[in-house]
Amino acid sequence: MDSILVRGGGPLKGQIPIAGAKNACLTLMPATLLSEEPLTLTNAPRLSDIKTMTALLGSLGAEVTSLQDGKVLAMSSHNINNHTADYDIVRKMRASILVLGPMLARDGHAIVSLPGGCAIGARPVDLHLKALEALGAELDLKDGYVHAKAPKGLRGGTINFDFASVGATENALMAATLAKGTTVINNAAREPEIVDLAECLRKMGAQIEGEGTSTITIQGVDRLGGATHPVVTDRIELGTYMLAPAICGGQVELLGGRINLVQAFCEKLDAAGISVSESANGLTVKRNGGDIKAVDVTTEPFPGFPTDLQAQMMALLCTANGTSVLEEKIFENRFMHAPELIRMGANIDVQGGVATVKGVKRLKGAPVMATDLRASVSLILAGLAADGETKVSRVYHLDRGYEHVVAKLSAVGADIERVKDT
């Protein structure tokens, strides 16, 4: 098993290229199941989760070929010969549930294991199932598997979400493209990944309106064709690397970054005293010296502050001047990084879904353990600002969501290396 060693140092300077979005790519890949014609994704991230989805699609009979060092995924689902997504693959990643809607829409039946993934709360799939039932699916839960069928095909319907779930919106959106008639999704998620999926599906021939708003309307079509589509920039990787110069000082340009992907996050950085500006190739983040100012953060669905940047933001606020309050409203149990930051000298008190962070002058290096994907990178960021050496263990979480993190941070002056545990 690997660990990452981080030694706190001086300011960072240079450029960091931002990859395509993991969460967008994991949604776009199952869209290949909707058509017999090829779907090609460019700007794909090179991550373990992408390999897991590749294996899952392959187990169903889809062909996925990785080109250009993994940045291009050429897919074809002309020969789907299996409609069961087994537990052995699905347990590794929650996004696996996204094969359910497309298989059901195209072939009228599917059996999908209940998924796994990071242990940051229940994250139930009931919204996915209710959405498909609204489209006429017949569902049965047996032995940890969802048995779904629509013998006469799905039909358009009205889907009313109690919560603006990203995954459930994606599953419903894909399923509705081949349903007979019109589907309206109310209280739909508005994330950029939803917009990206809709744009790809439209290239395949889908009729979709309203993506990016809380109401999406889909007019079902008889079939979808092939397409080539670039994966949208990863706004979570973007926000993560924006925090590196914010924590360490210096100036870094994030290639491919766009403010509209991280508007609420940028507003909090500005309040903390960090400069963010648009450049010809992306975004430039600069810390001009002086103390970080304390800010309060509440996670919300897009366009609010992303839950996937909460842990990283906490790392910044550990050394802010004053007291910050972070309220987690998306997932329960998502402060597991707090005890590890406390090991590094942070002053954090967690009460339920609220963390109170009293800024300290300096963090100190320590051995810490990653508990989930975003927690792992928050500890690396904290290590960049700490005195001495920080050893982050269990970094296999990191590989699910960040490609070449050591190389990217080293390129802008960070003292960081990946080592094999003995």
Annotated binding site for phosphoenolpyruvate: 22-23
Which residues are annotated binding-site positions for UDP-N-acetyl-alpha-D-glucosamine? 94, 123-127, 308, 330
Q: Do residues 176 and 156 touch, judged by C-beta distance below 8 A?
A: yes
Of the candidates 138, 173, 176, 140, the one whose C-alpha atom is nearest the C-alpha of residue 157 is 176
Question: Which residue of the set 118, 200, 266, 318 is catalytic?
Answer: 118
Please name the amino acid found at residue 153: G
- The reply to whether 318 belongs to the active site is no
Look-up of token digits 């648009």: 278
Three-state SS sequence of the chain: CEEEEEECCCCEEEEEECCECHHHHHHHHHHHHHCCCCEEEECCCCCHHHHHHHHHHHHCCCEEEEECCCCEEEEECCCCCCCEECHHHHCCCHHHHHHHHHHHHHHCEEEEECCCCCCCCCCCCHHHHHHHHHCCCEEEEECCEEEEECCCCCECCEEECCCCCHHHHHHHHHHHCCCECEEEEECCCCCHHHHHHHHHHHHCCCEEECCCCCEEEEECCCCCCCEEEECCECHHHHHHHHHHHHHHCEEEEEECCCHHHCHHHHHHHHHHCCEEEECCCEEEEEECCCCEECCCEEECCCCCECHHHHHHHHHHHCCEECEEEEECCCCCCCCCCHHHHHHCCCEEEEECCEEEEECCCCEECCEEECCCHHHHHHHHHHHHCEECEEEEECCCCHHHCCCCHHHHHHCCCCEEEEEECC
Which residues are annotated binding-site positions? 22-23, 94, 123-127, 308, 330
What are the catalytic residues? 118
